[in-house]
Amino acid sequence: MAWIPGGTFTMGSDLADYPEEGPPHEVAVDGFFIDETPVTVATFRRFVKATGYATVAERPLDPAEYPRLDPALLVPGSLVFSPTPRPVQLTDMRQWWRYLPGADWAHPEGPGSDVGGRERHPVVHVCYDDVAAYAAWAGRQLPTEAQWERAARGGLDAAVFAWGDEETPRGRRMANTWAGDFPWRSEKPAGRQRTSPVGHYSPNGFGLYDVTGNVWEWTADYYRPQHQSTHPCCAPANPRVDDPDPSFEDSEPGGAHVPRRVIKGGSHLCSPSYCLRYRPAARQGQQVESAMSHLGFRTVLLP
């Protein structure tokens, strides 16, 4: 784990295309330890072997909780990215995401796939309950959004990216993000179009790897459509959003009423044309019961 010194930093951004990141505001956090990389397949496997834990993606859904969901989708599984055969309008993610029965952390592309050779890749297909269970087993906790963003910035207050303001300094790619035309054409060679081993790209100023790109990461905070206004006199200390009410979406599939938590950092599926979210300020709301093939986590430890 890496030590993140306490201090005050500017959280959020004022990018017009991403209003959920605003308003930029000063926040103070105490020092803490955080995993240098996202939790890997190998580390998560040790947790499963030690506890016998079955992830949410490995359990059937309760039809009483999803009264309007297609019964065919009540089987164990997870959401898997599937590239489209041709260019499409980028307004409906259902064109490239599909619920795949049998997909889970050990079978990331569904039945017949496995994680052989991916021991150092981030574990994926884990929902909020799964990552909270791992954190409790490890004697740690999930980072708040403020802790996560403080760590991801690496001491570069208000910089656009975790490494500075230039996306590709001297033409160098700094994170595992989409290369090509999303979501149908990837310029990466076969076998390298999904997650990458942790630590493949350079660390940020605090020695953390893969804080942006590769996989989105869960945080402990419930999602709000925007950051709360700050007190005019001082920066809030160690903020945390524990109220789930603002996190619910107006219309959710299957009749479910599921709270959302904040996820951070973007993933290997982010591109400038669709999802310029491989930035410390970027944030999205993720239903706590949803697992996906580009979503992982890391943990923190308080001194």
Using one digit for the tens of pLDDT, what is the confidence trace for 17-32? 999 999 999 999 999 9
Task: Give the sign of the dihedral formed by CA 200, CA 201, CA 205, CA 210.
Answer: negative
CA-closest candidate to residue 183, choices 278, 253, 267, 283: 267
- Which CATH superfamily does the domain covering 1-53+120-303 fall into? paralog of FGE (formylglycine-generating enzyme) (3.90.1580.10)
**Residue 255: band (very low, low, confident or very high) from pLDDT cuts 50, 70, 90:** very low
**Residue 250: band (very low, low, confident or very high) from pLDDT cuts 50, 70, 90:** low
Q: Is the pLDDT of residue 241 over 80?
A: yes
Return mean pLDDT, the chain.
92
- End-to-end Cα, the chain, rounded Å: 12
Alpha-carbon gap, residue 295 to 289, rounded angstroms: 12
Using one digit for the tens of pLDDT, what is the confidence trace for 161-214? 999 999 999 989 999 999 999 999 988 876 678 999 999 999 999 999 999 999
CA-closest candidate to residue 113, choices 86, 78, 84, 61: 78
Greatest alpha-carbon pair distance for the chain in Å reads 58
Contact 144, 240 (CB under 8 A): yes
Residue 103 token pair: 């997909």
- Write down the pLDDT at residue 256: 59
What share of the chain has pLDDT > 70, as a percent?
96
pTM score, whole prediction: 0.94
Q: Is the pLDDT of residue 253 over 60?
A: no
Q: Which residue has the higher pLDDT, 7 or 69?
A: 7
| Residue 110 burial (10 A CB sphere; 0-12, 13-18, 19+) | middle
- Write down the pLDDT at residue 252: 53
Using one digit for the tens of pLDDT, what is the confidence trace for 215-227? 999 999 999 999 9
- Write down the pLDDT at residue 83: 93
- Write down the pLDDT at residue 41: 98
Q: Is the pLDDT of residue 259 over 70?
A: yes
